[in-house]
Amino acid sequence: MTTVQDPEDLTARARIRDAAIRHIGEHGFERATIRDIAESAGVSLGLVRHHFGSKQALREACDEHLMKTVRRLNAEAAGSPPAGFNPVAALGPYRAYLARALTEGWAAPLFDEMTRIGERWLAAADRDRADPPDVPPRARAAVMAAMALSVTVLYPHVCRGMDADLSTPEGERLLMRTLVEVYSQPVLGPEAAAEARAWLG
Amino acid sequence: MTTVQDPEDLTARARIRDAAIRHIGEHGFERATIRDIAESAGVSLGLVRHHFGSKQALREACDEHLMKTVRRLNAEAAGSPPAGFNPVAALGPYRAYLARALTEGWAAPLFDEMTRIGERWLAAADRDRADPPDVPPRARAAVMAAMALSVTVLYPHVCRGMDADLSTPEGERLLMRTLVEVYSQPVLGPEAAAEARAWLG
DNA sequence: GTCGGTGCTGTACGCCGGTATAGGATGCTT
DNA sequence: AAGCATCCTATACCGGCGTACAGCACCGAC
């Protein structure tokens, strides 16, 4: 979460980066302007260029910072099992940026890393399972990674659909309970799955 | 799919709309320019404005057309059960546009309609179920709608992760088989789910 | 002290893209 | 034939935004 009380105690470079993450997360890369970012960070337009060179480079610095943060959060939350399923709370201000990064074309490495993590998790989970699945583990991991990220990416719609603010503790709890429910109940029953498999040949 | 062989046999208005759907789907609303759209449609810049008035209005016309198409596809595919799970093939060129619409802020009605559809589906599925879930149906439907759309929205990442082109018949088949696998196998076993529920209180 | 490096500001340039407008061709009505 | 609506083109405008650059204050090194 990195709850920073006073922006003054950060270096200007860090303040610019954080402001960029906020603005890009909120408006997307195209609509976020260097001028607005500079104003939010309390610096001049020129300083952004001085530190980062270009808007692209600024975005790449944000990506790098997000990557580091996600890795750190992932390492921290490796212990408590359900935390890995919460796609909103832990990310804080990075949530919106991550959604933009995933949907606006960049951030491929991040998704790929999540797929790899999912693949290892799946391999462990499949070890004690009777019927071996006949689809490539990579494919399953990719689809499950996408699903795990769906709430993060479609956050506003999910908020609206659930009729709750997922950034509040109550909303977070509701989301977690819903996720447990959804993840513990198969969507397709055995007979429906068999039918679908037969249909697919 | 609406496979149109010759763009010439469409009215200019329709050609502009289709070109807009392609361009916005490919580049996003901001980066898609009216000039490029006009060129793709084989018309002048002014004609776009003549027919649609503004870029915003053009987007709204695209939204409306997408909405109609999705409704039609949904009505057509109501019979065959697995088709409802295929988020890619049926949409064709509208897939990318739908992803943009969902992640760039508009298209709320479309998501809401999918949530309502999911809610009805859930109500029917829950009828013959032993343990009643203790989370609001709306919340479950919203999360499941998000998950159902995740492959559509994160399409390029899923393609890359699965190492397959999902627009080809083989890719489509692989995706469908993977979806059946994922949907038929609960991610959380009964004991893990109980543990998570206990942890959440 | 002065010299260079660093952090920072202000201003200007130039392009891109949405918007606006004037005008031409075609076809239908009276 | 005249008038008029519809469809369409070409060109101009102008604001926004990324980029570039000149210069200033501060500070440690020698």
Give, in order, the Cα–Cα distances in Å from B155 to each of A82, A188, B167. Answer: 27, 23, 10
pLDDT at A133 over 60: yes
| CB pair distance less than 8 Å for A185 and B133 | yes
- In this prediction, residue A126 carries a pLDDT of 85
| CB pair distance less than 8 Å for B188 and A184 | yes
CA–CA separation, B108 and B101 (whole Å): 8
Lowest-confidence range among A17-31, A39-53, B72-86, B116-130? B72-86
Q: A84 or A17: which carries more pLDDT confidence?
A: A17
Mean of pLDDT values over A103-109:
92
What are A172-197's pLDDT values in tens digits? Answer: 999 999 999 999 999 998 998 999 89
pTM, full prediction: 0.90
CB-nearest partner of A157 from B85, B108, B200: B108
Residue indicated by tokens 């480079």 = A57
Contact (Cβ atoms closer than 8 angstroms) between residue B110 and residue A161? no
What are B45-60's pLDDT values in tens digits? Answer: 999 999 999 999 999 9
What are B153-175's pLDDT values in tens digits? Answer: 999 999 999 999 999 999 999 99
* Residues near chain C strand, CB within 7 A: A 11-13, 43-47, 49-51; B 32-35, 45-46, 49, 54-56
Instruction: Select the residue from A153, A157, A197 to test the B interface by mutation, using most B Cβ atoms within 10 A.
Output: A157
What are A49-90's pLDDT values in tens digits? Answer: 999 999 999 999 999 999 988 888 877 776 555 445 566 667
Continuous segment of H or E residues that includes residue B81: none
* Residues near chain D strand, CB within 7 A: A 31-35, 45-46, 49, 54-56; B 11-13, 43-47, 49-51
Give, in order, the Cα–Cα distances in Å from B38 to each of A3, A45, B46, B57, B96. Answer: 47, 35, 9, 15, 19
pLDDT at A38 over 70: yes
Contact (Cβ atoms closer than 8 angstroms) between residue A23 and residue B21? no
Asked if the C-beta of B151 comes within 8 angstroms of chain A's C-beta atoms, the answer is yes
pLDDT at A125 over 90: no
CA–CA separation, B105 and B99 (whole Å): 10
For the record, the structure tokens of A68 come out as: 């580091």
Distance of CA B64 to the CA centre of its chain: 14
Instruction: Select the residue from B126, B162, B191 to test the A interface by mutation, using most A Cβ atoms within 10 A.
Output: B162
